[in-house]
Amino acid sequence: MIPVGGYAGARVAVLGLGRSGLAVARALAAGGAEPLLWDDSPEARARAEAAGFTLFDLTRGAAWDDVAALVVSPGIPHLYPEPNRLIARAMAAGVPVDNDIGLFFRSFATPDWDDMAVAPRVVAVTGSNGKSTTTALIHHILQAAGRPTQMAGNIGRGVFDIDPPQDGDVVVLELSSYQTDLARALTPDVAVFTNLSPDHLDRHGGMGGYFAAKRRLFAEGAPDRAVIGVDEVEGRFLANQMAQGAADDRVIRISSGQKLDGPGWSVFARKGFLAEWRKGRQVASIDLRAMPGLPGAHNHQNACAAYAAARALGLAPRVIEEALASFRGLPHRSQTVGERGGVRFVNDSKATNADSAAKALQAFDRIRWIAGGLGKEGGIAALAPHLGSVVKAYLIGHSARDFALQLGDLPHEICETMERAVARAAAEAEPGETVLLAPAAASFDQYKDFEQRGDDFNARVAALIAT
């Protein structure tokens, strides 16, 4: 556990008692603070009490007297689409509002570091797509290189549940816009911006607010090195703001699909090859095409981001290449789960919107596509340019018929359930084809989350392969 520093003897309110809220409460107590816990949900309050915590009703009139800070769980909106009433009350009372990420950054460094040969460092990854894979890939590279490392944030453990860092430790954090938006301290040593596409716009008041939340990781923290994807205009803007000139190698620009010129430091992937350029010359090249855990251009972008972060930490290109080759990917993200009769089965249940599904569809040839669920605004109309590799679609869930109308002349079948979709796709698939689950929809019509949906797909495939 990392104890929270700076609040010894103070009363600190905690709003939201999920995983991060309870971890913060424990860390506050370990740092000598008095945590005041509250959640609007009776079930969450009951779980907190069962865990040994004392509740404090923040809805009372005098609740904010002598409160030093309010720590808000990331899932609670604080400004848009409308201010949370308790957060608004804290702000009116002049109580500083923070979250677990802000407290982590102000508590991470301790006097114990004076006795370490190499001070611990933090790599923080944000962006719209690929955050989890990039974070896990950086962590994997460090592990393969024999470097002490921990992974936390929006993936793995909560930031306060990690162990106190040892000599030379590298903590790799995945940070969502919900986490960067409210943190009062953001000081990573290496900050990574993968890409930007519309998401969570109601929470951030539009695309500008969404980008602003991501940008805070760089603008507030001034990282020693910034790894920035420049395939969208926002990334190019951010890279320009962070660099003092074209040759400033504190900024590493990354891309998937375009060659990056200039005297600075860049890492890009084209036609399956990753290239590193520095000071106007190529210094390394890696063939990504045969790496099973990194299929498709979107994963090649993730590889570029992870490679650049690892290079910023001082790792050699060949060490990174060996680690990339041994990476097997994350569950439910372009995950190859089996093969039968020359047909590959791939689980990308995390593709919950059209943008992420488009990336999955571009990663494979001759696809039997399983899609559907609880469709989002616009459905799959935006996928029309990316359906050239789809042999046939097998549609499931609430939006199956709506999706069918948007597919036009593309062969499709309304299957409704995962069981039937997997069975029909497997029965019709020919050698060399891929049965791909990339739903382009939320899972909540039939499953509790995308993980359960992906697990169902995996189980159906495993049963088929076993027969």
Is 402 within 8 Å of 337 (Cβ atoms)? Answer: no
What is the β-pairing status of strands 273-278 and 281-287? antiparallel
Which of these is catalytic: 84, 99, 131, 347?
A: 131
**Annotated binding residue at 443?**
no
CA 26, 28, 34: angle at the middle one, nearest 5?
105
Rounded Cα distance, 399 and 401, in Å: 6
Give the list of residues 6+ apart from residue 134 with CB closer than 8 angstroms, or none. 125, 127, 174, 192, 194, 302, 305, 306, 309
Q: What's the CA gap between 232 and 235, in Å, rounded? A: 5
Catalytic, 154? Answer: yes
Q: Give CA–CA dist 148/330, Å, rounded.
A: 21
- Alpha helix segments (H runs only) across 93-186: 100-107, 131-144, 177-182
On whether 130 is known to bind a ligand per the annotation, the reply is: yes
Q: Is 214 annotated as a binding residue?
A: no
Whether 448 is a known active-site residue: answer no
Residue 158 annotated as part of some ligand binding site: no
Q: Say which of 154, 299, 302, 458 is annotated catalytic.
A: 154
Q: What is the 3-state secondary structure (H, E, C) of 345-401?
A: EEECCCCCCHHHHHHHHCCCCCEEEEEECECCCCCCHHHHHHCCCEEEEEEECCCHH
Tell me if 133 is assigned to a ligand binding site.
Answer: yes
Cβ–Cβ < 8 Å for 213, 248: no
Give the CA distances from residue 11 to residues 5, 6, 32, 37, 90, in Å, rounded to whole numbers and listed in that order. Answer: 13, 12, 10, 10, 13
> Active-site residue 392, yes or no?
no
- In Å, how far are 109, 351, 380 from 358, measured between CA atoms? 41, 9, 9
The residue from 200, 386, 392, 398 that is catalytic is 200
> Which positions make up the binding site?
127-133
> Which positions make up the binding site for ATP?
127-133
The residues carrying an active-site annotation are 131, 154, 200
